[in-house]
């Protein structure tokens, strides 16, 4: 089913799966950031500099990796 809907690439077995990177540019990830926690807001879970506390957001994408660190883009942050 995952292959049919292009959610998961067509793999030829366990060896192919193990050779794929776990974290790759463009992958959506969960991160803690200063985001709007109000569900009813149109900017829900998007970056908001006025929020002092960090919350987990699904609106984050991995941009690149630099050594042990990752560069992440959070929706609404420039």
Per-residue pLDDT tens digits for 5-25: 666 666 666 677 777 778 889
Helix (H, G, I), strand (E, B) or coil at 26: coil
Residue environment code for 20-44, b if the CB has 16+ CB neighbours within 10 A, otherwise e: eeeeeeeeeeebebbbbeeeeeeee
Q: Which contacts qualify for 40-45: CB closer than 8 Å, 24 or more apart?
A: 43/76, 45/75
Residue 71's H or E segment, with its range, is strand 69-74
The predicted structure's pLDDT at residue 22: 80
The predicted structure's pLDDT at residue 20: 75
How do the domains of the chain map onto residue ranges? 23-74
Residue 36 CA neighbour count, 13 Å, CB half = 14
The predicted structure's pLDDT at residue 21: 79
The predicted structure's pLDDT at residue 47: 96
Tens of pLDDT, residues 28-77: 999 999 999 999 999 999 999 999 999 999 999 999 988 889 999 999 99
Answer for the pair 60, 31: CB distance below 8 angstroms, yes or no: yes
pTM: 0.68
């Amino acid at each position: 089913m995952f292959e049919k809907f292009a959610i998961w690439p067509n793999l030829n077995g366990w060896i192919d799966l193990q050779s794929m990177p776990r974290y790759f540019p463009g992958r959506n990830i969960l991160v803690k950031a200063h985001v709007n926690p109000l569900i009813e807001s149109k900017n829900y879970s998007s970056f908001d500099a006025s929020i002092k506390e960090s919350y987990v957001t699904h609106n984050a994408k991995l941009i690149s990796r630099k050594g042990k660190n990752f560069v992440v883009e959070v929706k609404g942050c420039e």
